[in-house]
Structure 1
Amino acid sequence: MRKKRSFLAVVGLLVGTMSFAGGTAAYLSKSAGEVKNVFTAGSVKAQLTEAHWDTQKASKVYPGQILEKDPVVKNIGENSANVFLEVNVPMRSIAVLDGSTGRKTIRENRELFTFQADETKWTLLYQEKTSGNKKYIYGYKSVLNPGESTTPLFRKLAAVSYLEGELDASVSYDVPVIASVIQEQDGSKTMKEIYQEYLKQADIDQKEARG
């Protein structure tokens, strides 16, 4: 009898589909190296990379396994910039395996992936939870000069220790990583204030682009 499959996708710089088979194995079947999800406001240019994403290792991933994933932003323009990263983690009401007791937990709304942010270099500005998603927005504490790169927001991404039948086999789940960059702002402003300036400027730029 064929085993059911559920799908988890790790999406950011590299796009893949993670298939959970029979509650034991996971397969990352596809990965594309094109860099996407970089939005700028003002006269700045930036690049988003993940140097240690290994498509070979990601070709077979088990529940709870840790993947190397290290989003970094590089300033490739001529002006100094403030940088932000947004991470959207899918959430579903599922039971998982408790690592300390080995028992099935109660079903509740859980993030399907977890990460540990480098809070020495990045500061958490906002987090918002809905029934199907949790959004994190981080600001880089230092101004990024031309040619400089941020430290990775995080270095590893861990898949949930799911149990067979807990995830919908017909649905894929994405973890998009989005970079937002704005030309250096007044140093007296807080990171939250600068992020609000980015949102305003990005909106103006979009309206001007539409004519």
Structure 2
Amino acid sequence: MSKKKIITLALVAIVAITAIASASLAYFTDTKTADNTFTMGNVKITLDEAPVDEFGQAADGERVTGNRYGPSAVYPGAVLHKDPTVHNVGDYPAYIRATVNVSNWMNLVGAYYPDFNETFPNEGYKAALNLLVGELGEGWSVVGVVAGDTFTIGQFDAKFILKYEGELAPGADTTAMFNNVTIPAGIDNVNADSFDRVTVVAQAIQANGFDSWEAAFAAFDA
């Protein structure tokens, strides 16, 4: 018998023995279930600023969600403390956007720029926000501005759109968007009465799944 045949027969024998054993023995079996629990986190932010005293300057105490500035603080040329800051208190890294809504912005521009007669909006108005709030904090930039209308933010109001660069990690804080609001020295009584509010709104969207801030907020707005 050739070597090749011996090997072949041996293989057949082994297979046969295995088959017999399989047929004559009962198997001990057990079943385990992998219970996969998915716990969803959330995207959550808070927005606050330092409290101020009667003169509109930073005061001690817990941070607040808004301040009121009275007659002792508000006058032409006054510099008032305001340092809105966003905190990521959620579970995911997030992209951050903010809007700064300024009442009666058109008249404020007139007080800042007595001879300013360009049509709103344009690139110059992005820089004009700095006249009201000074330099923006590190990481913040103006990426858009919306003219007022009678249905949303007021006919003469302005909404500045701010971008915070990069992702804000869970537990992290942005820098302050700005630190002060300056009342223009050229404002008169009529315009002063109509300039009564600076409203800051912060928005967040998960960073996971998006390649950029722009892509994330395109989805946010869709």
TM-score by length of 2: 0.57
Q: Write the letter of the residue equivalent to 1:174.
A: R
Q: Offset at 1:54?
A: 1.1
* Structure 1 counterpart of 2:215: 193
Q: Equivalents in 1 of 2:116, 2:162: separation in Å?
A: 29
Determine which structure has the larger strand proportion and give its number.
1
Contact 1:65 1:158 in 2 (8 A): yes
Q: Equivalents in 1 of 2:77, 2:99: separation in Å?
A: 23
Contact 2:137 2:178 in 1 (8 A): no
Cα separation, partners in 2 of 1:56 and 1:76, compared to 1, 3 Å? same
Contact 2:97 2:204 in 1 (8 A): yes
Contact 1:85 1:178 in 2 (8 A): yes
Determine which structure has the larger helix proportion and give its number.
2
Q: Equivalents in 2 of 1:178, 1:120: separation in Å?
A: 18
Q: Write the letter of the residue equivalent to 1:83.
A: I
Q: Structure 2: 5+ residue runs without aligned partners?
A: 1-40, 57-69, 149-154
Alignment of 1:132-143 (within 5 A): 132-143=156-167
Alignment of 1:3-152 (within 5 A): 43-51=42-50, 53-58=51-56, 59=70, 60-61=72-73, 62-90=75-103, 91-93=105-107, 96=111, 105=114, 114-118=132-136, 120-130=138-148, 132-152=156-176
Cα separation, partners in 2 of 1:86 and 1:193, compared to 1, 3 Å? same
Structural RMSD (CA): 3.1
Contact 1:87 1:175 in 2 (8 A): yes
Deviations 1:104-133 (A, max 9, x none): x45869989711343641132211233501
TM-score by length of 1: 0.59
Q: Write the letter of the residue equivalent to 2:165.
A: K
Q: Equivalents in 2 of 1:148, 1:184: separation in Å?
A: 14
* Structure 2 counterpart of 1:204: none
Deviations 1:113-163 (A, max 9, x none): 711343641132211233501211111112111111000111111112245
Contact 2:83 2:177 in 1 (8 A): yes
* Structure 1 counterpart of 2:203: 180
* Structure 1 counterpart of 2:35: none
Q: Equivalents in 1 of 2:165, 2:143: separation in Å?
A: 11
Aligned pair count reads: 150
* Structure 2 counterpart of 1:157: 181
Cα separation, partners in 2 of 1:118 and 1:187, compared to 1, 3 Å? farther
Contact 1:125 1:192 in 2 (8 A): no
User: Which SS does the other structure have where 2:217 is aligned?
Assistant: helix
Q: Write the letter of the residue equivalent to 2:198.
A: V
Structure number, greater radius of gyration: 2
Q: Structure 1: 5+ residue runs without aligned partners?
A: 1-41, 99-104, 201-211
Cα separation, partners in 2 of 1:180 and 1:162, compared to 1, 3 Å? same
Q: Write the letter of the residue equivalent to 2:197.
A: D
Q: Equivalents in 2 of 1:122, 1:97: separation in Å?
A: 23
User: Which SS does the other structure have where 1:138 is aligned?
Assistant: strand
